[in-house]
Amino acid sequence: MSLREIQYREIIERALLEDFSRGGDLTTESLIPENARGTTVLRARENGVIAGLEASLYAFKVLDKSVEFIFNKKDGDEVFPGDIIVKISGNVRAMLSAERTCLNLLGRLCGIATLTNKLVKAVDGTKAKIADTRKTTPGLRALEKYAVKTGGGINHRFGLDDAVMIKDNHIAFSNSLTEAVEKVRNFVGHTVKIEVEVDSLVQLEELLKCPVDIVLLDNMSPEILKKAVEMVNGKMITEASGNISLETIKEVALTGVDIISSGALTHSIKNFDIGLDRE
């Protein structure tokens, strides 16, 4: 997955507008001459994985078309405290005014990539892959899912039109799980995959008689998950979800599931600490 300017241009422009509001940057404009030029560096302050450099640095480009970057690190690289990520040369006013917009986005995306990478490493030696969910920040889904990929994870569906996902409430408003699958199969095209959420082995037993591609095993204990994987026996892709953490993920992976999805990758991360310093 790669990013294009069209995916982040409006996000950055809106963030800058939010900062400038009605009066501009009072502090910078009163202290820094209009044509002053200088050099700063983005420096890591903790261990982690870089993600979102292109999108985040666009904040400087919006305010200074002549800004120049010298990259020491790229997306996907691991960094340590003190590492210089990129050197920035250009208009000082632009750099200081765009600083927070850049760091807000970059810190969030690096935080997502860093947590994803930790979970990926935690399941090393198993076949499980780590996936995100649609529990993303409104307006930032493409960027946050990009960060998951950068950290070594895989992407679940991007929206409601990517694939069918029959969840518990869909089944609750249908006569049965089987009927829900039949209706969906008759509605969508042959290229659309169907996933169904189940929360018990009884539901799974019914689902195994239906033509679906993926089963989401929701909030099951490792013991039940292992039984579920044995019941599926390769007939469909198995995905585990619910209360996934660094402490629990290896035990979940050892049950033999194909995918482990976690909303925490995008909704409960700690922003990565990066600073902008004068060189």
Put residue 23 in one of left, alpha, beta given phi > 0 → left and psi -120 to 50 → alpha: alpha
> Using CA atoms in the order 54, 57, 63, 66, what is the torsion angle rounded to 10 degrees?
-80
Predicted confidence band of residue 254 (pLDDT cuts 50, 70, 90): very high
Residues of the chain with CATH 3.20.20.70: 121-267
pLDDT at 32: 97
pLDDT in tens, 81-138: 999 999 999 999 999 999 999 999 999 999 999 999 999 999 999 999 999 999 999 9
The CATH classification number of 5-112+270-278 equals 3.90.1170.20
Cβ(256)–Cβ(127) under 8 Å? yes
Residue type, 229: V
pLDDT at 100: 97
Percent of the chain's residues with pLDDT above 70: 100
pLDDT in tens, 174-202: 999 999 999 999 999 899 999 999 999 99
* 204 closest CA partner among 235, 169, 243, 175: 235
Contacts of 9 (CB under 8 A, 6+ apart): 58
Mean pLDDT of 150-167: 97
Calculate the alpha carbon distances from 9 to 14, 79, 104, 105, 204 in Å: 9, 26, 15, 13, 44
pLDDT in tens, 68-81: 999 999 999 999 99
Q: How far apart are CA 57 and CA 208, in angstroms?
A: 49
Catalytic residue numbers? 100, 135, 167, 197, 218
Top CATH class, 121-267: alpha beta
* Kind and range of the H or E run holding 92: helix 92-122
pLDDT at 279: 87
Residues of the chain with CATH 3.90.1170.20: 5-112+270-278
pLDDT at 2: 80
Kindly state the DSSP code that residue 75 receives in the 8-state scheme: T
